[in-house]
Amino acid sequence: MKNFLVIIILVVAIWFVYNKIMENQPKKESNAFTNYTDNLKKSEDKAKAVENTANLTVIKQAISSYKNTEGKYPASLNDLVAKNYIDHIPYADFSYDPNTGEVSIK
């Protein structure tokens, strides 16, 4: 009987300590609005990545066409616009090396 009482007291004490610990943990609000905005942000990030990949492909193709026609890589990406290889430089933070023709998104 004493052992049973000791076990009950220990279980209650552990439960009490656990609840106190969990009480002090920051609570993350999870509601429909938060979930919606989180998913919207993820979708926006994915769309931006797809857009950047497509823009990078267009720039690379224009550089390749420029090289084949002009016999050298453009000195800058703006040369692609000046010589009508593309209409405009898409908005992205491109890194371009005119010595190798390599272009990437920073």
Instruction: Kindly report, residue by residue over 2-28, the tens digit of the pLDDT.
Output: 666 667 776 666 777 777 777 777 766
If you search the block for the tokens 């090396």, which residue do you land on? 97
Q: How confident is the model at residue 66 (pLDDT cuts 50, 70, 90)?
A: very high
Buried-exposed string 71-105: b where 16+ CB fall within 10 A, e elsewhere: eebbeebebbeeeebbeebbeeebebeeeeeebee
Instruction: With CA atoms as reference, report the closest residue to 98 among 66, 55, 69.
Output: 66
Compute the radius of gyration of the chain from its Cα atoms. 30
Phi, psi of 104 (to 5 degrees): -150, 170
Phi, psi of 93 (to 5 degrees): -90, 85
Instruction: Kindly report, residue by residue over 23-54, the tens digit of the pLDDT.
Output: 777 766 667 778 888 889 999 999 999 999 99
Per DSSP, which regions of 1-106 are E strands?
94-97, 102-105
Instruction: Kindly report, residue by residue over 69-98, the tens digit of the pLDDT.
Output: 999 999 999 999 999 999 999 888 899 999
Domain residue spans of the chain: 49-106
